[in-house]
Chains A and B, each alone.
Chain A
Amino acid sequence: MNVRLTRLLLALSALSVSATASAEQSLQLNLTRGVTNISNKVYDLHMLVFYICLAIGVIVFGAMFWSILRHRKSRGVKPATFHDNVKVEIAWTIIPFLILFAMAVPATITLIKMDDTSDSDISVLVTGSQWRWHYSYLEYDVEYQSIMATPREQIYGRLPQTENYLLEVDRPLVIPTGKKVRFLITSDDVIHSWWVPEFAVKKDANPGYINEAWTRVDEPGIYRGQCAELCGRDHAFMPVVVIAKEPADFEAWIRGEEERLRTAREEEQRLLSMQMSMDELMELGQQTYMAQCAACHQPNGQGIPGVFPGLAGVGVSVGDQQAHIDVVVNGARGTAMQAYRNTLSMRELAAVITYERNAWGNNTGDMVQAADIHHFIQGNQ
């Protein structure tokens, strides 16, 4: 059986559902074949089981419809009276068993391959948290978080939706082609599930435990996936984007990242003494707030009653400044509030806290500078 035939079969069944479905050329109806050896094996397995089911279906439903057409009272048939046949019954117990055995063999072989994470060339720690992915390269000094890049305006219909709607991130994961990449997967809060259909990799991110998966991608390209396990309000909005680059390009990229992160840290230290103006703080703060905080606390700072606390006129944003810094820097235990210490720069932390203390009529007039954050983190208060 070839792919075309499969497509045709599936398209035909789709046609029976809707004429419009076949109108679009790119409409995907079947499982993603994917770009790895494993994902191809998985696809073949999927098709094998599908065809077996199809064949059984044709036989069983064929017999049934034959019976419906021929053995109807309106044709004046006399009903037979048989109600047992040991031989037949044994046959249709044994035969399915053998068919299942035929499916189990390739499934077992593929599964053992998928579970074998040994001899990997590079390891990436993938950490899920509400609602973003955090990637950390174990062999390199590079880590960053990856947030959905689709603007809220597109989600709420104020801007037209663009091609990769909901499947685009600010900073994709980058992996080398032709190398066995091992993913260590865990979570900071609830259970998430890291899924890239084109790698046939889906693994749950369990808080407090690590899971493993691996892939070897041969084709450079951009591959998109999503979180697959219900993880709260914005479960739909934590996509996975992976870019596979040729090893040399990857090496150049990761060295560049290391360099960039190092200079950023140095720059941060150098600028610690720099005072930002209120306007600068508010501008950067608003940007940071919209990207990092608005999903829960909402753009208007109202939060969602009973779920996410509001910041406008209540809580830490109009209370003690040190407590406010503490909760943003370290997160709050047992809540969705995560620690931003390692994900935001001190300037951004300062700005977002200043923004929260002065936006939506909070008007505390407080200004927090990067140096204050540095001071807090160093524990010298």
Chain B
Amino acid sequence: MSETPEQKPQRQDNSRVITRLLGSVIIMFAFGFALVPLYEKFCEITGFNGRTSNTAATANYGMEVDQTRVVTVEFHTRVSRGIPWEFQPEVRSIRVHPGEVKVVNFYVENRTGKDVVAQALPSVSPGEASLYLNKTECFCFEQQPLAAGERAVMPMQFYLDPDLPAHIHRFTLSYMMYDLTDQVRVTTTASRSE
């Protein structure tokens, strides 16, 4: 192709457009990854996926207890594959007044000869309720190491925000216990070797 003088400025023009487009490509790639924390934040604000907060809410004992309403909270536990634990709530469900602080114990027993580290992940349905479930203390905030044959009682203390929408009379809090032993072993050996 012969280079005519008119085409010269156009070349520079090209590189500017290309730079901008490549910039957009990089921004969109980063945006793809940014969507992960954005999604988490969005879920936290709207209760979109029913995860509860993984940090403790501040206990608010002076709170007005709404005696006029009773909400049923159901508990359910599951244990993921490959983890030889028994994991049960002490009660299947309790009835609470919004604002009232309650403690529910969960029993866990490692019945085999292996030391296991596990963590329980909560899921609330309907997801909207997760916004009003405030846990002041929960075993699910941390990883739970349990030596072979060990038993433990794990408490969960919570209250329901009195702003809980009136149409929610009942919700389910489900815990799935996941085996994190391998991940923990990797991190501890890594920290030891440092």
Instruction: Show the binding face of A for B, using Cβ within 8 Å.
Output: 116-120, 123, 125, 127, 138-139, 184, 186, 188-189, 208-212, 326, 329-335, 337-339, 376-379, 381
Contacts and interface: CB of A to CB of B under 8 A. Distances in A.
A329 B86 CA distance: 13
Contacts of A330: 81-84, 112
B149 interface: yes
B166 to A, nearest CB: 10
Given A118-B167, A333-B81, A335-B81, 17 more contacts: A117-B125, A118-B170, A123-B74, A125-B76, A188-B78, A189-B81, A208-B176, A210-B50, A210-B174, A330-B81, A331-B81, A333-B83, A334-B82, A339-B79, A378-B111, A379-B149, A381-B113
A326 B111 contact: no
B41 interface: no
Contacts of B121: 208
Interface of B: 49-51, 74, 76, 78-84, 92-93, 110-113, 121, 123-126, 148-149, 167-170, 172, 174, 176, 178-179, 182
8 contacts: A116-B167, A118-B167, A186-B123, A209-B49, A210-B76, A330-B81, A339-B79, A379-B149
Give the residue among B74, B112, B168, B174 with the most A Cβ atoms within 10 A.
B112
B132 to A, nearest CB: 14
A326 B84 contact: yes
A239 B155 CA distance: 39
A207 to B, nearest CB: 8
B92 A138 contact: yes
Contact of A188 (B81, B92, B113): B81
A210 B173 CA distance: 9
B81 A337 contact: yes
A209 B81 contact: no
B113 A186 contact: no
For the complex of A and B, list the 4 residue pairs with the smallest distance between their C-beta atoms, beginning with the closest: A333-B82, A331-B81, A379-B111, A210-B125
Given A138-B92, A212-B125, A339 B81 contact: yes
Nearest to B76: A125
A184 B172 contact: yes
B181 to A, nearest CB: 9
B125 A184 contact: yes
Contacts of B50: 209-210
A28 to B, nearest CB: 33
B174 A186 contact: yes
Nearest to B82: A333
A223 B80 CA distance: 30
B58 to A, nearest CB: 27
B76 A138 contact: yes
Nearest to B149: A379
Given A118-B169, A138-B76, A212 B126 contact: yes
Contacts of A326: 84, 112
Give the residue among B51, B81, B113, B123 with the most A Cβ atoms within 10 A.
B81
A184 B30 CA distance: 36
Nearest to A188: B81
B151 to A, nearest CB: 11
Nearest to A378: B111
Nearest to A379: B111
A13 to B, nearest CB: 41
A98 to B, nearest CB: 31
Give the residue among B78, B148, B179 with the most A Cβ atoms within 10 A.
B78
Nearest to B126: A212
A343 to B, nearest CB: 12
A330 B92 CA distance: 24
A332 B113 contact: no
Contacts of A125: 76
A120 B51 CA distance: 22
Contacts of A186: 78, 123, 174, 176
Contacts of A189: 81
A326 B112 CA distance: 9
Contact of B111 (A139, A332, A377): A377
A346 to B, nearest CB: 14
Nearest to B169: A118
Given A118-B168, A212-B125, A184 B82 contact: no
Contacts of A120: 170
Nearest to B176: A208
A291 to B, nearest CB: 20
A208 B112 contact: no
A306 B123 CA distance: 33
Contacts of A377: 111
Nearest to B121: A208
A188 B79 CA distance: 9
A208 B49 CA distance: 11
A303 to B, nearest CB: 18
Contacts of B112: 326, 330, 376, 379, 381
A187 B182 CA distance: 22
Nearest to A189: B81
B57 to A, nearest CB: 21
